[in-house]
Amino acid sequence: MKKEELKEFCKLIGIDCVGIAPIGPYYDLEKIIKQRLLNGYITGMEEPMIEKRVNPKEIMENVKSIIVCAFPYYIGNFDESNLSKYCYGEDYHIVVKDMLQEICNYLVDNIENFEYKIFADNGPLVDRYLAYLSGIGYFGINNNIITDEYGSYVFIGYILSNYEFKSDIPSEKTCIKCGKCVKYCPGNALLGNYEMNPKRCLSYITQKKGDLEKEEKKVLESNKKVFGCDICQDVCPHNKNIPITEIKRFKEDTIIKLDIEEINDISNKEFKRRYGNRAFSWRGKNIIKRNIDIVSKKPNE
């Protein structure tokens, strides 16, 4: 099978950002990761073994190509929202995995002895780097992957496969380097050179366990988000006039805002029952409640 046939099928099921990444090892990425470790630019959420992040054969011994897909999720701007846009619809881990499984089912039917492994933001490889290698997007200064049609409001999923599809070529484009993401980042996490200190990122702060430091609370208070952050994407010129996603599960049964009284009134068990299929639920009720309490504080409280 040629990759053109694969991409044609992907379009039929609503995935039009598809590329093929080579299987590495990615020695350029290894240097970047090691430098980030030296600088302390890690959160503890990353895969600890560098070899697993840069060598796909550590994940699947007989891998021959990597199918990389981008899934747009933008449904519009809502001023009253206290959640990041990626949390509005059904949990992307579930949706992306289901859509990647459709691709794999098709390939199993059409390629003899086809083997695969699916990852939707739950694998050790660096999905944004794979997206860059596969040609479906290029890096912004804010570290996000930017696609031509959907800007940076995309989730990335990938399939390790034992079938050798021909690799695509990375895009030569770069972001326009206007610096708006650096200027408006609430935690000053973006360093302006395609690097960031993730510990200062508001999105990370909203997901951090335990008590927050005084400066972290200030960042939360001033931006009123209880989970995630979109500021570096909202101000990005590459995200102007992008279309609403066609993926129904991201735009149906949406939750735009969490209510403080509801969160305070329900048990942990009820929180999981109501929100178990939402991306913001993975840290549990207590982290959300902590954040809501902080952003709901009146001045001088």
* Positions marked active-site: 121
The alpha carbons of the chain give a radius of gyration, in whole angstroms, of 20
Tokens of 156: 């990335």
What SS3 state is found at 203? helix
Cα 59 to Cα 77: distance, rounded to the nearest angstrom: 38
d(CA 64, CA 69): 17
Alpha-carbon distance 187 to 181, whole Å? 11
Q: Look at the block and give the residue holding tokens 């890096």.
A: 139
Alpha-carbon distance of 13 to 10, in angstroms, equals 5
Q: What does the alpha-carbon distance between residue 279 and residue 84 come to, in Å, rounded to a whole number?
A: 10
